[in-house]
Structure 1
Amino acid sequence: MELDTTDLRILNILQENSSISNLELASRINLSPSPTLARVKRLETEGIISRYVALADPHLLGLKVNVFVKVILERQGAEALAQFETAVSAFDEVMEVYLMTGDEDYLLRIVVPDLLTLEHFIVDHLTKIPGIKNIRSSFALKQIKYKTALPTPKIKTRR
């Protein structure tokens, strides 16, 4: 699906505030409500907009420790990778999982309230996953930038 300038404007606005009314969205892109809604529905149908979520403040929920965990597996075959991915994806504390190039096989982002909880998570859950050879953690001291909106200028547009 190719996106035009209006589609990109809609996408940018909804990525910043998905609870905006269709009437307000239409006003902001200088289009009437009916074609605006049709464009939003098309973006949803085509999978460009995959879902709408509410973003919670982790600090207000007591989740103050943001940890990046590097995992090396004993084997890197398809079955070993799939088993690890399934196991680690089951934990609520694991926010993101990336298969990596380089020295580590996976990079996880884990959010927990404190170091004791992290210790329990690593000892009681992570180390119990079969096939893990090595686990290393790095703590985020300060979050400088966090955003959920994707950069749309890189999306192919038609003129």
Structure 2
Amino acid sequence: MENLDKTDLEILKQLQANSNITTKEIAAKLFLTVTPVYERIKRLEREGYITKYVALLDKKKLNLGMTVFCNIRLKEHARNIGSNFVKDIVALPEIIECYNIAGDYDFMLKILVADMTSYQDFVMNKLSTIENIGNTQSIFVMGEIKHSTELSF
């Protein structure tokens, strides 16, 4: 973050809040002209501060109203076994996030499905086919209190 000044940070905040905001709108908010704002955004993209632009979707409207966190403990921890597990997990579209964690479990998955029946089908027909899973623990989200995609800096 050492290469970023106050203007860069404000541009990032504006883009986080609304990735559809135009360069002209950002320039107006920052009391700048369009060209330097455009050049700064391109530099932030080149330097990897901005990795992609996305649209956030309403998961309930898309019939993905159940969020489950699933903790997984592997039977073995050899490098090739872990790599194969990661490759298999990445291929499952129901898993929207996967973290390698420390503690009682090795991985934490965030899974979106329609309902409990869909989750049961997912576990029985997809997750259970992945080799080397020793133990799982499912945690069902009853309500989402806070969900943000904006980073604080």
TM-score by length of 2: 0.97
Quote the residue 1:99 is aligned against: 100
| Pairwise CA distance, 1:81 | 1.3
Quote the residue 2:42 is aligned against: 41
Q: Which has the higher contact order (CA 8 A, sep 6+)?
A: 1
Instruction: Give the letter aligned to residue 43 of structure 2.
Output: R
Q: SS of the counterpart of 2:134?
A: strand
Q: SS of the counterpart of 1:76?
A: coil
| Pairwise CA distance, 1:77 | 2.0
Distance 1:31 1:80 in 2: 53
Distance 2:81 2:137 in 1: 19
Q: SS of the counterpart of 2:93?
A: coil
Distance 2:30 2:80 in 1: 48
Distance 2:11 2:93 in 1: 31
For this pair of structures, how many residues does the alignment match?
Answer: 152
Quote the residue 2:146 is aligned against: 145
What is the RMSD computed on CA atoms of the aligned residues? 0.8
Question: How many percent identity over aligned positions?
Answer: 38
Distance 1:67 1:3 in 2: 37
Distance 2:19 2:66 in 1: 27
TM-score by length of 1: 0.93
Question: Cα deviations across residues 84-137 of structure 1 (Å, max 9, x unaligned)?
Answer: 111011111101000000000000000000111100101100010011101110
Distance 2:23 2:71 in 1: 43
Distance 1:123 1:132 in 2: 13
User: Which ranges of 4 or more aligned residues in structure 1 deviate by more than 6 Å?
Assistant: none
What residue ranges of structure 1 are gaps of 5+ in the alignment? 153-159
| Pairwise CA distance, 1:78 | 1.7
